Structure 1
Amino acid sequence: MDISWTNTAKALQDFASILVCGKCGAKPISPVRLTNCGHFFCHDCVKSATICVKCDIPVHPCEINPDCLVSNLIQGCDSIAQIIKRKNIWDNIVDGSNISLDNTVSEVFNTPRKSYIRKNIDKRDSKGETQLHTACLKKNAEQVKRLLMRGANPNTKDHAGWTPLQEIVNYGYTEICKLLLSCGALSNMSGYEKKTPLHEAVNFNRIEEAKLLLSYHADKNLCDKYGKKPIDYCKSDEMRQLLMDVQSSSEKILDKSINQTLDTSLHIRCDKFVIYASHLKHENQKLLNLIATKHKFKILTVYRSSVTHVIVEVNERNITKLTLDVLFTIVHGNWLLNSDWIRLAEDMNDISNMDFELFEVYGAPTSDVPKKARQNRENQNPRLFNNCFFYFALQADVTYQIGNMELRKDVLIQLVKAGEGTVLTREPNPEDLKDMIQVIPYHIANDLSHPLYKCTHYIIYMPGKGEPRIKYKMPHIKSLPLIWLIECIEKFTLINPAHLGLS
């Protein structure tokens, strides 16, 4: 079907007119904002300015700052233009740069906007709840609006795993649900007991909330920790029919995804960079140190949980070797970048505006695993070993060789814990496990035929001298060699033991 996208193209061009540089009237290049007056421009248009060309307010150099918000909005406009096949949205537009972007956003919510991000707005209390959690629990829509406008993160979890969206779905307050979803709340984020907001809506028979979530692409097939899908909690025929209905037309779905892209982009925040360089060539390491001084980011010499980006060397196919550093990167879901990023970052004014996917390592060495693990973290899904319990039948003072890696028991324990697995200090008794409440490992919960679907307990051993004499092959507990654990991380899934020649 040929879609003209006439209305979308017009709306996109109108929006682009708001984003043009306040001086040259064109698409901003490396956009910056004058913090004193709020006007934004191309970096080169005002890099030596002493007054704002829009309002004549004096400008100090320290008041010219990179504008991540505008950069992300421009990127979003370009993405939508590509989808609707309009390549000239920045040409021949009416200059709307005199319109304040702050006012445009405020009109959407019909509420004043004081600043994009307020300091400590996501600060947690003793329960791990933010101000946004509290406003949702009190069903205070106006307060929710104000917090979202000031940059509150709608995807923050409390200590029990509840997000603001999950909290409010239980109460059936549709207006607040719309606000949260329109401002970037993830409809498929798992929370308490690995339930998604759709699980909660179905469980409490909130028909309108379920419809709303489905319109924002809530996945009807995701499972909670017990292996149950939303439909398994149905309490009415109306809800069951809703979940069984076919999705709406492709144009409607795409329109919704476009709206979500624009709304979500208003709340993207620039994270602090903590970079770990793993086995870089000397010249790349030296250049990275210079760039760190220029852009003021941290470089760690030892991998820690605070790392956000790991940089490695790759071959001509953008594939890196599997090392201990790479294993930790995968289980944590960090960005794994090739060293080409270093050379481009040298010429950038603001590295937070870079498209990191251009430098993301393709394989480590399994294809697409770095991206899969990173996206799993960004969606705040459970990590690889969620709902898995491990006992290591290994010696603490022995170094075990897997490929080119030397692994010790304490390091393996760290890897499992980083993947949200539980490490047991005593070998589990299969008979004692039969009475436990059955939970399903998250990353195979949608595959009923997987041989490990009901397996939560694993005894890890090294074949050869010292391996256990009794090996378990029961549905809920299995004894598996160490290579199986490493393969699981390398491929970011729980491997079918048969794929390794194990029965």
Structure 2
Amino acid sequence: MSKTEYHNLLKALDDMNKCLLCVECHQFCKNPVTLSKCFHLICSEHFPNMSHCPKCKVSLECCTTWSNDKLNVAVHAAKNLSVMFEHFKENNSCDSVVSIDKSLDVNMIDKTTESLSDTPLSNAKALKRTAASKQDTLNNSILSLASKSSKIVEKRNKKGETALHIACRMGKADKVAKLLSEGANTNTKDNAGWTPLHEVVQNGRQDLVRLLLRHNTLVNVPGQGNETPLHEAIRYNHIDIAKDLVAHGADINARNCKGETPITLAAPEMRVIIQDVAAKRIITEDSFDFELIQRQIKLDCEDIRVHCVSQSRAITNKLRALTKHHSNLHVEPKFSNNVTHLIVDAEDGICDSSLEVLQGIVNNLWILTTKWVTASTDDNLESLEEYEVLGVGTTTYRGPKNARYNKYKYLPGIFNGCHFYFHNFNKKFKISDKIEVTKAILSKLVTDAGGVALRRAPNPESIPEAEKLVPYHAQRDGKLYICSHYIIYKDMYEPLYNMAHLKALPIGWLIECIEKYQLCEPW
């Protein structure tokens, strides 16, 4: 191992350790739990006395937590790995660097992380590969919680299918296992919206369902028509598969685009069975795997295409300078589909609402404060999470993070199932000093967020059958639960519709929905 590789190895180990530290005591988490409101990790003993998250300061009122056995295993492994590397940190001579390969006994690694053996992309196995073969790259080492998927593995055909989609559809178990070992993404959607899990459920392959569930597969990803794998299991009467899905957190009340849920589609006998499994399960549909989050964040760091809207010339100059030292960092002069990260001015982590910020939210971009630029150096780009804006205008408007997590969960956009007609927006309309909109701009915002922009005002008594959908993100039993059509106005609209399926609402409501990335209840 070269000296450069050695230092990169230690740096990556430190990065991994930071992910496993409690945000309250800054030590390795003891019995770690995840906060449902912000997904930060803490020791379980701290939670009862907390009113706000120590990291992001968000209120923990009505906040819950969940635990994950994998986190305990990961913390245990990280502690042992840190001890193993400690004496190398104390002696950075070339001889000690070269001796790392001899000192990392594979059997010792196996004993240290034996409990991780069921996780195919675990840190333990990656370390074993590093010690056994120098051909492995750093991104596939022990220190990668999120390994880079091979371009070949993720290559798509004309239908948008990856090799894993095809193997699952054909029922080739050996091929599926091989692709999973190579890091194939189990949650990728094809052009029709189906994931590999949808494919194996439809084919009744319980063995492949269980295999996918062991590899960071999200069970509530909606496919075509917002049908989840559990919808499919119920339709095809695959009772054993349905039980496995529910046990792993499948939502028995998830609605498809017609408002149908698995529990309402199930025959009486099956309904009793899955309700019983749901009542006894440990994993819930609110659980969001820590390892999966870190994997997605790691992928977001591989290609950082920044558009900067800061008014500071020093920031833009520093950003250009950083691109000369980091091959994964690029500056985009204009806001386009290529942009992945937005740099904004912010005070105490709060940025002003602007058209660029709204566009960034609906496109699920990272929205970072300028402090990320100033803190980064020629040798190191700072952690994205440390410098993500806390809110838009206020900490309660957490649209950037909500949108990003929505993308990580492979869920539809916030306006999915919603149809919008913009009344009297033919000319530019100034909402605030930084937001001036037209019908074209508003239409782009809602379509990027999964909605549909209408050319004509909807007739409440003759909604086309194809448009009779339910909004995916509406609150259960809320005022918008079955509201598919919205008339957005800047001045009062007559008639002032307030029907279950059609409402006339002010432009401020639409902007608030985007700023929060939440289908807000009408005022």
Secondary structure of the 2:481 match is coil
Q: Does the Cα contact within 8 Å between 2:488 and 2:504 map onto a contact in 1?
A: yes
Residue aligning to 1:207: 239
User: Aligned in 2, Cα 1:292/1:423: closer, same or farther, shift over 3 Å?
Assistant: same
Secondary structure of the 2:324 match is helix
Residue aligning to 1:16: none
User: For the residues of structure 2 that align with 1:228 and 1:42, how far apart are their CA atoms?
Assistant: 54
| Residue 461 of structure 1: how far off its partner (Å) | 2.2
Residue aligning to 1:454: 482
Structure 1, gaps ≥5 residues long: 1-21, 25-31, 34-40, 46-65
User: Aligned in 2, Cα 1:75/1:140: closer, same or farther, shift over 3 Å?
Assistant: farther
Secondary structure of the 2:392 match is coil
User: For the residues of structure 2 that align with 1:374 and 1:266, how far apart are their CA atoms?
Assistant: 13
User: For the residues of structure 2 that align with 1:271 and 1:433, how far apart are their CA atoms?
Assistant: 45
Residue aligning to 2:97: none
1:155-234 aligned at under 5 Å gives the runs 155-234=187-266
User: For the residues of structure 2 that align with 1:145 and 1:43, how far apart are their CA atoms?
Assistant: 30
TM-score normalised per structure 1: 0.74
Q: 1:59-90 deviations in whole A, cap 9, x for unaligned?
A: xxxxxxx97xx787656666895143778534
Secondary structure of the 2:176 match is helix
Residue aligning to 1:344: 375
1:43 aligns with 2:8: yes
| Residue 215 of structure 1: how far off its partner (Å) | 3.9
User: For the residues of structure 2 that align with 1:194 and 1:121, how far apart are their CA atoms?
Assistant: 26
User: For the residues of structure 2 that align with 1:262 and 1:400, how far apart are their CA atoms?
Assistant: 44
Residue aligning to 2:154: 122
Match of 2:106 among 99, 120, 128: 99
Secondary structure of the 1:148 match is helix
User: For the residues of structure 1 that align with 2:261 and 2:358, how far apart are their CA atoms?
Assistant: 31
| Residue 132 of structure 1: how far off its partner (Å) | 0.9
Q: Does the Cα contact within 8 Å between 2:399 and 2:517 map onto a contact in 1?
A: yes
1:21-420 aligned at under 5 Å gives the runs 41-43=6-8, 81-84=28-31, 88-90=79-81, 92-93=83-84, 97-99=104-106, 117-235=149-267, 237-245=269-277, 248=280, 269=299, 271-296=302-327, 297-316=329-348, 318-346=349-377, 348-349=379-380, 351=381, 354-366=382-394, 367=396, 368-396=398-426, 398-404=427-433, 405-420=435-450
User: Aligned in 2, Cα 1:469/1:294: closer, same or farther, shift over 3 Å?
Assistant: same
User: For the residues of structure 1 that align with 2:404 and 2:84, how far apart are their CA atoms?
Assistant: 38
1:472 aligns with 2:497: yes
Secondary structure of the 1:430 match is coil
| Residue 418 of structure 1: how far off its partner (Å) | 0.9
Q: 1:37-71 deviations in whole A, cap 9, x for unaligned?
A: xxxx33388xxxxxxxxxxxxxxxxxxxx97xx78
Structure 2, gaps ≥5 residues long: 32-42, 44-74, 86-99, 130-134, 141-148
| Residue 321 of structure 1: how far off its partner (Å) | 0.5
Q: Does the Cα contact within 8 Å between 1:183 and 1:263 map onto a contact in 2?
A: no
User: For the residues of structure 2 that align with 1:447 and 1:305, how far apart are their CA atoms?
Assistant: 33
Secondary structure of the 1:301 match is coil
User: For the residues of structure 2 that align with 1:165 and 1:314, how far apart are their CA atoms?
Assistant: 41
Residue aligning to 2:93: none
| Residue 293 of structure 1: how far off its partner (Å) | 2.1
Q: What is the count of residue pairs matched by the alignment?
A: 426
Residue aligning to 1:482: 507
Secondary structure of the 1:433 match is coil
| Residue 208 of structure 1: how far off its partner (Å) | 3.0
Query: Which residue identity does 1:403 align to in structure 2?
Result: S
The alignment's C-alpha RMSD in Å is 3.7
Query: Which residue identity does 2:508 align to in structure 1?
Result: I
User: Aligned in 2, Cα 1:263/1:363: closer, same or farther, shift over 3 Å?
Assistant: closer
Aligned-pair identity (%)? 32
| Residue 478 of structure 1: how far off its partner (Å) | 2.3
| Residue 345 of structure 1: how far off its partner (Å) | 2.1
User: For the residues of structure 1 that align with 2:29 and 2:481, how far apart are their CA atoms?
Assistant: 41
User: Aligned in 2, Cα 1:249/1:139: closer, same or farther, shift over 3 Å?
Assistant: closer
| Residue 264 of structure 1: how far off its partner (Å) | 8.5
Residue aligning to 1:63: none
Q: 1:230-270 deviations in whole A, cap 9, x for unaligned?
A: 212213524533334455586xx59xx89x65688789645
User: For the residues of structure 2 that align with 1:72 and 1:237, how far apart are their CA atoms?
Assistant: 50
User: Aligned in 2, Cα 1:221/1:347: closer, same or farther, shift over 3 Å?
Assistant: farther
Query: Which residue identity does 1:99 align to in structure 2?
Result: V
User: For the residues of structure 2 that align with 1:245 and 1:400, how far apart are their CA atoms?
Assistant: 53
Residue aligning to 1:12: none
Identify which of structures 1 and 2 has the higher relative contact order when contacts are C-alpha pairs closer than 8 Å and 6+ apart: 1
Query: Which residue identity does 1:274 align to in structure 2?
Result: R
Secondary structure of the 1:82 match is coil
TM-score normalised per structure 2: 0.71
Secondary structure of the 1:431 match is coil
| Residue 300 of structure 1: how far off its partner (Å) | 1.5
Secondary structure of the 2:350 match is coil
User: Aligned in 2, Cα 1:75/1:200: closer, same or farther, shift over 3 Å?
Assistant: farther
User: Aligned in 2, Cα 1:461/1:109: closer, same or farther, shift over 3 Å?
Assistant: closer
User: Aligned in 2, Cα 1:331/1:171: closer, same or farther, shift over 3 Å?
Assistant: same
Residue aligning to 2:40: none
User: For the residues of structure 2 that align with 1:122 and 1:166, how far apart are their CA atoms?
Assistant: 17
User: For the residues of structure 2 that align with 1:211 and 1:42, how far apart are their CA atoms?
Assistant: 47
| Residue 287 of structure 1: how far off its partner (Å) | 0.9
User: Aligned in 2, Cα 1:262/1:384: closer, same or farther, shift over 3 Å?
Assistant: closer
User: For the residues of structure 2 that align with 1:291 and 1:395, how far apart are their CA atoms?
Assistant: 42
| Residue 334 of structure 1: how far off its partner (Å) | 1.2
User: For the residues of structure 2 that align with 1:369 and 1:303, how far apart are their CA atoms?
Assistant: 19
User: For the residues of structure 1 that align with 2:164 and 2:15, how far apart are their CA atoms?
Assistant: 24
